[in-house]
Structure 1
Amino acid sequence: MNFRTKGLFSILRFNPTPCETFSNHHHQQCRTLVRVRLKWVKNRSLDHIIDTHTDLKAACLLKDAINRSSTGFLTSKSINDWQKLLGLTVPTLRFIRRYPTLFEEFPHPRYPSLPCFRLTNIANNLHSEEQRIFQTHEADTVQRLCRVLMMMKNKMVPFQSLHPLKWDLGLPDDFDRTLIRKYPDCFRVVKGPNGLCLKLEQWREEFAVSELQKSHENGELGSGSGGSGGYRQFKREYSALGFPMSFPRGYGAQNKVKAWMEEFQKLPYISPYEDSRGIDPNSDLMEKRVVGVLHEFLSLTIYKKTKRNYLRSLREELNLPHKFTRIFTRYPGIFYLSLKCKTTTVAIREGYRRGKLANPHPLSGLREKFYHVMRTGLLYRGKGVGMIPQPDNLGNVEEDDTEQEELEEEEYESGGEFCEDEEDSEVEVDSDED
């Protein structure tokens, strides 16, 4: 089913008759489907974040490419075909010229008609500050990368799938040459069926606790979702840890949506770090396990989001079903899909509160400074770059309060691609058993 054209969220109800067992617990259950027809609900706040991060990520990737260059600059010819690689909706040359506060244009030393670009002083200062953050939080970065590998079926991932995730996972640009070599007890480079792969060298039991389990252990989700007792119970047997859910306005109050949500939350939670190959791939338990894996992976990213295609490239390694992306539309209370910038991005709703990251990483603060310099340069590029303060004077840069207030927590129905019929009611539930 194409969710862009059908707009049909298949929501589960459960028959209490057990079908199979897992780890000696009778809890796999037969399913009947309740089809819930929902209009696509757009979250303007999250869409705005994804929109701004598209340009921010592209600028950061260009900054890293210039730093990698042996000449210290890039020519317009060399970046001409990078538009798709950078995820831009405009030509790369036009994009880089938008931000003279970061990228200084000058003629090539040997070919004056060839434009070249190098980093400005403030861009170099921001890069140096970024390197200090990487060094200070290196242990956290190593743990995050280990946990990503620990979720993989064979405890390894191809570099071709990992490199596009560098920015999302907060990995240094040269992590494959520096970080991996520095920690041979954690990582090893091996040859795989899809080229060179990064393999986990040593299993770390203390890392094998998911973010959902930590939240329950700390009581962050409240007693209604299991509380700390739920996590302790998990250590003894597979208990029902509930995911935090935040439905689009009006949908969560529907009785059948509530019934589905309660039954889904009662299913046992299988940690994404557990071996799942013994679970029936067509069972309800596997579906909750898939939700848990996607939730954990997104929780490990800096912004609690990534592109859907990046996850699709890891489908086999994460032991996900062929059509696992339907999970995102089936559980709109946990995930949010955005179609901004001609791509599909998926985020976990709990990662944001009032339009901002709930638990920001230090790297996100540095990137806010970077974006502030970008935006100021765009607004005042005709007046010179001298208007930009140095990084030490930028302070805690935040988005314009007026703009943010307009976007905070605003969700509304859209007649976009996710809608099946604009004349449908807000929520239409048809009980059809399959």
Structure 2
Amino acid sequence: MAMFTRPVILNNHFCHHFYMQPSRTFVDARVKWVRDAYLDFAVEKEKNLKQIISLKNLIVSQPSKTIPLSTASVYKTIFNLPATAINFFQKYPSVFEIFQSPKPFPLPHVKLTPQALTVHNEECKILNSSNYRKDVAERLAKLLMLTRARKLPLSIIDSLRFDLGLPHDYILTLLPEFPEYFQICNMGDDSNLFGLELVTWRYDLATSDLQKRSMERNSGIKRGTAIKFAIDLPKGFELEKKVRIWMREWQNLPYISPYEDAFFLSPNSDQAEKYTVAVLHELMHLFVSKKTEKENLLILGDYLGFGARFKKALVHHPGVFYVSNKIRTQTVVLREAYKKDLLAERHLLMGMRYRYLHLMNQKAKAKRVYGLRVNGSSKHLGSSIKGG
């Protein structure tokens, strides 16, 4: 795979300064994992939200705005459902409605409830607004700027689509609006592997969230300034003394922007680890919920050339990143973005997602059970069947 270096912002004197940094590494001490009940709840309350929105998008993309229940079996694998699609639909009667289609072929179908359709329509207004589309395009561009090649396979972008807040059909509806930002490309020698490439480097976007906040507090910053990461450890969490000393010295190392190429650093040095944390920190700020599945980060880290350094940084810096074991996976949460279980600054799209959560949590009313024939077998559906 050909690699193209990002614009080198570091000058020779600055590079030499970094090379002179001590090459010591993290102290030999165990940093224990301590549960954070608030952040666990922030993760757990969004259980099945991604699946709900994926199924919702599938339904509204159909000309009839419905899908036949007879095809539901394929959705369990496609959308990684925790149960059969029929049981999943039944679990959320405030979102999905199972009904009998009209004659001459009366078969059970699924559509959105009026409440869910209302939320969807309001969500579409946000997704189609010029402000939102510019915001999501800029965050996608910044993601590509974090790579040395300024490009990523579409498969990796798709795995992060929900976290970035990209429209489900972003390739057809969003990318054509920003030809000055993006172009579809081939990845390396494999003509069947497509990716997304940044057309030109965006100097106006090459400032990290941490740099912006530091400039707001200090009226500007100099290159090589020791910008510190916010550390927020849960109650009862204690670091060994030697770890606290190391952390203090590590925080005082110069901050290298994640939009600069610092792969000249010794990969095992503390300075390289601070750069790794800077890249991870900026990545988390690009996500609308300031969290993502750990596996997504590790796959991206491998592609970016960090190897195991992402995983090591998550273990070494529990005051910056929290790893939750809830909802059948491991989820990385950016601590500073949350106050207890709530986002400190809620992105506009997250407001809509919380409305879906509200619908999901509404209690089901008692409904008559009907026996319907699905895929040739009789199955009882615990949902009212109405005429379409």
* TM-score calculated relative to the size of structure 2: 0.83
1:39-81: CA deviations, max 9, x gaps?
A: 4211111111212212222111110111223442223343424
Distance 1:164 1:78 in 2: 24
Query: Which residue of structure 2 aligns with residue 151 of structure 1?
Result: 146
Counterpart contact for 2:34–2:237, Cα < 8 Å: no
Task: Give the letter for the 2:268 counterpart.
Answer: N
Give, in angstroms, the shift of residue 142 of structure 1. 1.3
1:146-197: CA deviations, max 9, x gaps?
A: 1111111211111111112111111111111011011111110111146111
Task: Give the letter for the 1:337 counterpart.
Answer: V
Give, in angstroms, the shift of residue 217 of structure 1. 1.4
Matched residue SS, 2:50? helix
Counterpart contact for 2:232–2:335, Cα < 8 Å: yes
More displaced stretch, 195-204 vs 111-120: 111-120
Of 114, 117, 127, which aligns to 1:134? 127
Mark the CA change 1:111 to 1:196 in structure 2 (over 3 Å): closer, same or farther.
farther
Matched residue SS, 1:106? strand
Mark the CA change 1:196 to 1:261 in structure 2 (over 3 Å): closer, same or farther.
same
Give, in angstroms, the shift of residue 254 of structure 1. 4.6
Matched residue SS, 1:104? strand
Matched residue SS, 1:28? coil
Residue 251 of structure 1 pairs with residue 237 of structure 2 = yes
Query: Which residue of structure 1 aligns with residue 17 of structure 2?
Result: 25
Of 211, 214, 224, which aligns to 2:212? 214
Query: Which residue of structure 1 aligns with residue 343 of structure 2?
Result: 357
The residue correspondences of 1:190-339 to structure 2 (distance < 5 A) are 190-193=185-188, 195-219=193-217, 228=218, 231-234=220-223, 238-252=224-238, 254-339=240-325
Counterpart contact for 1:99–1:381, Cα < 8 Å: no
Task: Give the letter for the 2:124 counterpart.
Answer: Q
1:206-246: CA deviations, max 9, x gaps?
A: 11110111111122xxxxxxxx26x5212xxx221110011
Q: How many residues end up aligned between the 2 structures?
A: 351
Residue 187 of structure 1 pairs with residue 173 of structure 2 = no
Mark the CA change 1:115 to 1:264 in structure 2 (over 3 Å): closer, same or farther.
farther
Matched residue SS, 2:167? coil
More displaced stretch, 209-218 vs 132-141: 132-141
Mark the CA change 1:110 to 1:40 in structure 2 (over 3 Å): closer, same or farther.
farther
Mark the CA change 1:320 to 1:253 in structure 2 (over 3 Å): closer, same or farther.
closer
Distance 2:270 2:78 in 1: 38
Matched residue SS, 2:155? helix
Distance 2:103 2:316 in 1: 58
More displaced stretch, 111-120 vs 240-249: 111-120
Mark the CA change 1:56 to 1:333 in structure 2 (over 3 Å): closer, same or farther.
same
Distance 2:332 2:297 in 1: 9
Distance 1:267 1:380 in 2: 55
Query: Which residue of structure 2 aligns with residue 172 of structure 1?
Result: 167
Query: Which residue of structure 2 aligns with residue 102 of structure 1?
Result: 95
Task: Give the letter for the 2:200 counterpart.
Answer: Q
Mark the CA change 1:63 to 1:289 in structure 2 (over 3 Å): closer, same or farther.
same
Counterpart contact for 2:23–2:266, Cα < 8 Å: no
Mark the CA change 1:116 to 1:349 in structure 2 (over 3 Å): closer, same or farther.
same
Query: Which residue of structure 1 aligns with residue 111 of structure 2?
Result: 118
Query: Which residue of structure 2 aligns with residue 380 of structure 1?
Result: 364
Q: Identical aligned pairs, as a percentage? A: 34
Distance 2:179 2:48 in 1: 35
Counterpart contact for 1:54–1:87, Cα < 8 Å: no
Mark the CA change 1:312 to 1:74 in structure 2 (over 3 Å): closer, same or farther.
farther
Mark the CA change 1:277 to 1:383 in structure 2 (over 3 Å): closer, same or farther.
same
Distance 2:154 2:226 in 1: 35
Give, in angstroms, the shift of residue 348 of structure 1. 0.9
Task: Give the letter for the 2:246 counterpart.
Answer: W
Distance 1:171 1:343 in 2: 22
Counterpart contact for 1:248–1:332, Cα < 8 Å: no
Give, in angstroms, the shift of residue 256 of structure 1. 2.5
Task: Give the letter for the 1:23 counterpart.
Answer: C
Query: Which residue of structure 2 aligns with residue 397 of structure 1?
Result: none
Give, in angstroms, the shift of residue 283 of structure 1. 2.2
* TM-score calculated relative to the size of structure 1: 0.75
1:311-338: CA deviations, max 9, x gaps?
A: 2222244331235212211110110001
Task: Give the letter for the 2:327 counterpart.
Answer: C
Matched residue SS, 2:228? coil
Task: Give the letter for the 2:275 counterpart.
Answer: R
Give, in angstroms, the shift of residue 91 of structure 1. 2.8
Counterpart contact for 1:251–1:257, Cα < 8 Å: no
Give, in angstroms, the shift of residue 252 of structure 1. 4.7
Mark the CA change 1:40 to 1:284 in structure 2 (over 3 Å): closer, same or farther.
closer
More displaced stretch, 282-291 vs 335-344: 282-291
Mark the CA change 1:47 to 1:108 in structure 2 (over 3 Å): closer, same or farther.
same
Normalized per residue, the structure richer in strand is 1
Mark the CA change 1:335 to 1:365 in structure 2 (over 3 Å): closer, same or farther.
same
Query: 5+ unaligned residues in a row in structure 2: which ranges?
Result: 1-12, 369-388
Task: Give the letter for the 2:311 counterpart.
Answer: T
Counterpart contact for 2:41–2:341, Cα < 8 Å: no
Matched residue SS, 1:25? helix
Mark the CA change 1:118 to 1:161 in structure 2 (over 3 Å): closer, same or farther.
same
Distance 1:115 1:102 in 2: 16
Task: Give the letter for the 1:232 counterpart.
Answer: I
Query: 5+ unaligned residues in a row in structure 1: which ranges?
Result: 1-20, 220-227, 385-434
